[in-house]
Amino acid sequence: MQIIDSLVTESAAIAALRRDIHAHPELCFEEVRTADLVARQLTDWGIEVHRGMGTTGVVGVVHGRDGGACGRAVGLRADMDALPMQESNTFDHASRHAGKMHACGHDGHTAMLLAAAQHLSTHRDFDGTVYLIFQPAEEGGGGAQEMINDGLFEKFPMEAVFGMHNWPGGAVGTFAVSAGPVMASSNEFRIVIRGKGCHAAMPHLGIDPVPVACQMVLAFQTIVSRNKKPLDAGVISVTMIHAGEATNVVPDFCELQGTVRTFSIEVLDLIEARMKAVAEHTCAAFDAHCEFEFERNYPPTINTPAEAEFARQVMRDIVGADKVMAQEPTMGAEDFSYMLQAKPGAYCFISNGEGDHREIGHGGGPCTLHNPSYDFNDDLIPLGGTYWVQLASRWLNAQAPG
């Protein structure tokens, strides 16, 4: 494993910063303390800092030995926000704020990019510019899109942008990256079926929305099994059904809510259109009225082929070809997808281990993402930092794309 020596030397100091961030989690668009910490460190290392993009975002600018004169640039992104969860860990760096927790490792993502920032600022053995993107509000806030709306790619023009997420379960020292879709789109729906309430003993006098809802839920699954191509991924999950207040009353309405996940916009278009048609026509068949709402949140995260292969080659040179896996797509969503809609790039996974790294005082649950017993593995800091450094310097020292 070819890890940069200086990153190993500084790993304890960076891990201390990571634990400080973990102990003081901040939710989306509230990352003021975290942004202050990041900006202070970058400034101390002589890195140009820009604040406030996407509300609480931070962008560090590291020019190479040519002062950035060649005009080439690449972006590296880490997310900073925590989740609205109660942490069950009791070790020294556990969350000090009730109902807030770094349960997805964004504290570690920030630390790995800080480690790379320190090395890049010290050595600058490349031409061009590295943009260090510390993004707020990945967990449902769409912070990536907000930074783009604030002019991220106009103010900091870059050829490509790369992201990385820790992935529990794999052995430490392994990566995964692949071209194409690697994370799904995230979408929500709300359907209200308006019937006519009546006494439960006299259902013929009303219009019962509950059997309408039952028909609808079952019919939605035929969209997945009979309308889309079998090889195209798609998930429709009705996760909430609300109706009625008394056992002897047929309710006036029934409300359904849930989520839809796909790896392509085309499949998403199909599912939304078919769900709307099924909902409206099912209601019409029972003389009920339908209110249909469909909200598109994060688009699918789709790695561009050349950039995914470039990332793979960098990983292979660090850990060996046998430690770089194909990236199994997940139905989870990620707002780095917005950046990949605007720029070429790749989003990879770095394995976080099985949880053995957790100290005395960790919760009883597994070390998986969005679990109250989760903790980022600090052993990844020099490895992840090495990946960022090698990726950026090799990108800028290689022949310009196109």
Question: Residue 36's pLDDT is what?
Answer: 98
Residue 385 lies in a domain: yes
Domain shared by 193 and 132, yes or no: no
Give the mean model confidence (pLDDT) for residues 18-38.
98
Asked whether the predicted pLDDT for residue 44 surpasses 90, the reply is yes
Residue 139 sits in the same domain as residue 31: yes
Same-domain check for residues 221 and 235: yes
Containing structural domain, residue 383 = 5-183+300-397
Asked whether residue 45 falls in the same domain as residue 27, the answer is yes
The structural domain count of the chain equals 2
Residues ≥6 apart with Cβ < 8 Å to 321: none
Contact 42, 99 (CB under 8 A): no
Q: Say if residue 174 is in the same domain as residue 200.
A: no
Task: Assess if residue 178 is contained within a domain.
Answer: yes
Upper half-sphere CA count for residue 7 (Cβ side, 13 Å): 27
Cβ atoms of residues 280 and 292 within 8 Å: yes
Confirm whether 402 is domain-assigned: no
* Mean pLDDT for the stretch of residues 160-188: 98
Summarised one tens digit per residue, pLDDT across range 213-259 is: 999 999 999 999 999 999 999 999 999 999 999 999 999 999 999 99
279, 191 in Cβ contact below 8 A? yes
The model's pLDDT over 345-367, given as tens digits with 9 standing for 90+, comes to 999 999 999 999 999 999 999 99
Note whether 168 and 46 are same-domain residues.
yes
Output the domain CATH number for residue 76. Answer: 3.40.630.10
Is residue 262 domain-shared with residue 366, that is, in the same domain? no
Last residue of a domain, one of 275, 296, 317: 296
CATH number of the domain bearing residue 248:
3.30.70.360
Residue 207 is classified by DSSP as: B
Q: CA 103, 106, 107, 111 torsion: positive or negative?
A: positive
Choose the final residue of a domain: 266, 296, 326.
Answer: 296
Query: Which pLDDT tens digit goes with each residue over 274-305?
Result: 999 999 999 999 999 999 999 999 999 999 99
Q: Is 247 helix (H, G, I), strand (E, B) or coil?
A: coil
pLDDT (0 to 100) of residue 33: 98
Please check whether residues 60 and 112 belong to one and the same domain. yes
How does DSSP assign 127-172, residue by residue? SSEEEEEEE---SSS-HHHHHHHTTHHHHS--SEEEEEEEETTSPT
- Residues 17, 75 share a domain: yes
**Mean of all residue pLDDT scores within the chain:** 97
Report the alpha-carbon distance of residue 216 to residue 243 in Å, rounded: 14
Half-sphere exposure of 376 (CA within 13 A, CB side): 32
- Dump pLDDT digits (tens) for 309-357: 999 999 999 999 999 999 999 999 999 999 999 999 999 999 999 999 9
Q: Which of 279, 296, 313 is the last residue of a domain?
A: 296
Q: Are 56 and 31 in contact (CB under 8 A)?
A: yes
Residue 402 pLDDT: 54
Strands 301-303 and 180-183: antiparallel
Arithmetic mean of pLDDT, 73-81: 98
Cut 0.85: pTM above it: yes
Shared domain check, 154 and 17: yes
Mean pLDDT of 190-194: 98
**Co-location of 63 and 130 in the same domain:** yes
pLDDT score for 1: 87
Average the pLDDT over 116-141 and give the result: 98
Query: Within a domain: residue 9?
Result: yes
Per-residue confidence band for 401, with pLDDT thresholds at 50, 70 and 90: low
Q: Are residues 322 and 258 in the same domain?
A: no
- pLDDT bucket at 210, cuts 50 / 70 / 90: very high
Q: What is the gyration radius of the CA atoms in the chain, in angstroms?
A: 24
Indicate the pLDDT class of residue 114, thresholds 50, 70 and 90.
Answer: very high
